[in-house]
Amino acid sequence: DTAGAPAPGSHSAFRGGPLEHWDDEMRDLLLRVEGSERDGAAGIWRDALAAPHTGPATWFHGDVSTHNLLVRNGELSAVIDFGCSGVGDTACDTVIVWTHLHGAARGVYRRELAVDDATWARRRGWAIWKALIMLDSRWPAQLALARRVLERLLDER
C-alpha cells in the first residue's frame, strides 16, 4: 500500500522523481569528461530525459547498493536502510546493474526484470548521473568504480 508514503524529495535526494530535477547539475557534471565520453554520457542523459515515467508510482528503495544488501550462503537474504524510500519511479533502484554486475549478467537482469525501453533509458540516466558525481571522488576505489560504470554504460550504446 502506497497511501501516505513519502514522495521523492530531499530525504531521497529526489531519487524516484523525474530526472529533470538533476538536469542543471548534469550540465556541470558532463564537464568532468571529454570527447566521446562526454558525447556518450550526454546522449544517455538525453535519452533518459526523453523517456519520462508514465506508469503508476510504486515503492522505491532509493539506495540499492551492496552496502544495503545482505547475502547469506550466496543468496540475497535482506535489504536494509530504507531512509531514502518513497513512492515514485523505481528506475533509480537499478544503478547496481552497472556498479556490480558484469558482462552477460546485466543482460540477464534486464531480461528477467522485463522493463520497457523507456524505463531502461531512465535507469541508465540515473547510473550516468551517479557515475559522473563519483568522478570527483578523492577516494581511489570510488573513482575507479565511477570509471568502470561510465565505461560499461558507454559500451552499451
Three-state SS for 52-91 is: CCCCCCEEECCCCCHHHEEEECCEEEEECCCCCCEEECHH
Spatial contact of 77 and 104, defined as CB atoms under 8 Å apart? no
pLDDT in tens, 64-82: 998 999 999 999 999 999 9
pLDDT in tens, 23-48: 999 999 999 999 999 999 999 999 99
pTM confidence score = 0.92
